[in-house]
Amino acid sequence: MPERILVIRLGALGDLVLCFQAFQSIRDAHPDAEIALLTMPAFAGFAKQMPWFDHVFIDPRAPGWRVDAWLKLARTVRAFAPARVYDLQGKCRQSVLFYLSGKPEWSGAAGGCSHPRLWPPEKDMHFTDFVAAQLKRAGIKIAEAIDLSWLDASLNQFTLPERFALLIPGCAPGRTYKRWPAAHYAALAAALREKGIESVAVGTAHDRAAIREIVQKAPHVADLSGQTSLPQVAALARRAEWVIGNDTGPTHLAAAVGAKTLALMSERVDPQWSVPRGPKATWLQGNPLATLGVEEVLRQIPTLRRAIL
């Protein structure tokens, strides 16, 4: 029977993307193992497309008083019987699971686990480096390259401009402080059009209202809200001249696949810890975000262009 490994990563889409290097490193370290990812229901479909995992288990994140749900989750882990667990979430919830599942060999934050993570994080440490430090403590060599060729899809259903910027004006519900104003995006699209670059906006159905507000002010912007899968967002990012987006999952995705990405960050987050990572990614921060001007964003865009010449 092959070795069994469990990886835990819940959180938002951006959190999953920032763990791509860790996922690759774990797979490289256990090439013949049967590896499962424990994640949230919203990302189960996306996780099943990843090449690093053989199984995807769901943590419904039931409240503490739902003892039946906790026991069911523990039974799932016990039945899988992992030789080792890499807990990349590291919250109290996972510590409870550590004890309920019989205290297997465990890399993470749980008290008494076999491979405790680095804590606290070093000053100015990015989350990806923090996770890498955890894996190194567990004897994992960190992958230098990540193969994201699987993260692609056909765009034949869309009529796209020859040259375009990809705009990602959405944000997680309840985190509107991460949303650069629609008027700013509209003005940015108008300025880019003067340079011969059209604009295409993507987002979930929850972002449709924000994107429609942009289109009302800049009718030439193509609205693809609610029409794209995550692999299609990656494909659009690869084709785009630039990607300009809020601090949200698809912006992290664009940066990860190597697109020229400019992330617009709120003053309420620490870019040193959570900025999108990628070979052609950069960022700007507004305090608050709405004060970040269109001209400042435009000045940053040539930096992205020069980075690839």
Which tokens go with 301?
Answer: 């865009």
Identify the pLDDT of residue 308: 39
Identify the pLDDT of residue 304: 66
Longest dimension (CA), the chain: 63
CATH T-level assignment (fold) for domain 164-307: Rossmann fold (3.40.50)
Identify the pLDDT of residue 305: 57
Identify the pLDDT of residue 171: 87
Written as one letter, the residue type at 111 is G
Residue 129, classified by CB atoms within 10 Å of its CB into exposed (0-12), middle (13-18) or buried (19+), is middle
Identify the pLDDT of residue 83: 94
Identify the pLDDT of residue 65: 76
Identify the pLDDT of residue 125: 96
Q: Global pTM?
A: 0.94
Identify the pLDDT of residue 66: 83
Rounded average pLDDT per 10-residue block, the chain, 309 residues: 94 94 98 97 94 95 80 91 96 89 94 95 95 98 94 96 96 88 97 95 93 97 96 98 97 97 96 95 95 95 59
Q: Residue 260: which of 198, 196, 303, 199 has the closest Cα? A: 303
Alpha helices of 31-117 — where are they, by DSSP H?
44-49, 67-80, 92-100
First to last CA, the chain: 50
**CATH class of the structural domain 4-137:** alpha beta
90-to-11, 86, 96, 106, 129 alpha-carbon distances in Å? 11, 10, 11, 11, 15
CATH 3.40.50.2000 domain locations along the chain: 4-137, 164-307
Alpha helices of 5-87 — where are they, by DSSP H?
13-17, 20-29, 44-49, 67-80
Residue 48, φ and ψ in degrees, nearest 5: -70, -20
Identify the pLDDT of residue 34: 98
Residue 157, classified by CB atoms within 10 Å of its CB into exposed (0-12), middle (13-18) or buried (19+), is exposed
**Is the link from the previous residue into 288 a cis peptide, with omega within 30 of 0?**
yes
Angle at alpha carbon of residue 240, lines to 239 and 245, rounded to 5°: 135
